[in-house]
Amino acid sequence: MFIVLLGPPGAGKGTQAQRLAESTGLLHISTGDMFRENVAAGTELGKLAKTYMDRGDLVPDEVTIKMLLERISRPEASAGAMFDGFPRNVVQAEALDAALAGKDAKIDHALLISVPDEELITRLGGRWICRKCGRLFHERNDPPKQAGVCDECGGELYQREDDRPEVVRNRLEKQKPPAALIDHFRTSGVLTEIDGLQSLDAVTAALEAAIR
């Protein structure tokens, strides 16, 4: 079984990927982890990927696909795999489809965790940090007793630039799964949309039910 897990930043995709990997026994393939593993091991693909990463460029689809194929050829992927962070666009999705077809396999499920933008901005943009001790707070989930003051040491709380709501909104637009990619999986008949506003356990249960 091969699964693609989709969702915007803040939807809880990383946590759910770990949970699904444990409950299904599927190999969890995060492209970020895969790049780091190949670079650290000094593989030929890792060296090639590093030349792009060092320049701040995206690793080409061809290199990424080759890494994915190598990864799913290992014994631990005998039951299949779950892709987290790939594909990011239709071109990558079509390349992945072709690569799996060469192994007499296909994407069985594309699971989209959907959360409204305003909720994502609240989740990602509500974090505050103590300048003195580094303690983290969240405006909604873990607010300080006194606004702007750390409960632990009385230090001043500040918000990192990339945690500001306007910055988070801009990042969301760039990192959300594009509509064309979602349509690709919908047309293929493998897309299931999951309500990401549910509790953590409820989202996990919905994902597991979709796979079954």
Q: Active-site residue among 74, 103, 132, 160?
A: 160
Structure tokens that stand for 77 in this block: 């992927």
Q: Active-site residue among 36, 66, 88, 164?
A: 88
39-74 burial string, b = 16+ CB within 10 Å, else e? beeeeebbebbbeeeeeeeebebebbbbbbeebbee
Structure tokens that stand for 109 in this block: 């499920």
* Residue where the block lists tokens 């249960």: 205
Instruction: Decide if 36 is catalytic.
Output: no
3-state secondary structure of 160: coil
As a whole number of Å, the CA-based R_g of the chain is 19
Q: Active-site residue among 13, 19, 71, 123?
A: 13
Instruction: Decide if 123 is catalytic.
Output: no
Structure tokens that stand for 99 in this block: 């690569």
**Helical H runs in the chain?**
13-24, 31-41, 44-54, 61-72, 90-101, 117-125, 165-175, 179-188, 200-211
How far is the CA of 183 from the CAs of 110, 147, 177, in angstroms?
A: 11, 44, 10
Instruction: Decide if 13 is catalytic.
Output: yes
**Helical H runs in 55-189?**
61-72, 90-101, 117-125, 165-175, 179-188
Instruction: Decide if 131 is catalytic.
Output: no
Instruction: Decide if 140 is catalytic.
Output: no
Residues with active-site annotation: 13, 88, 127, 160, 171
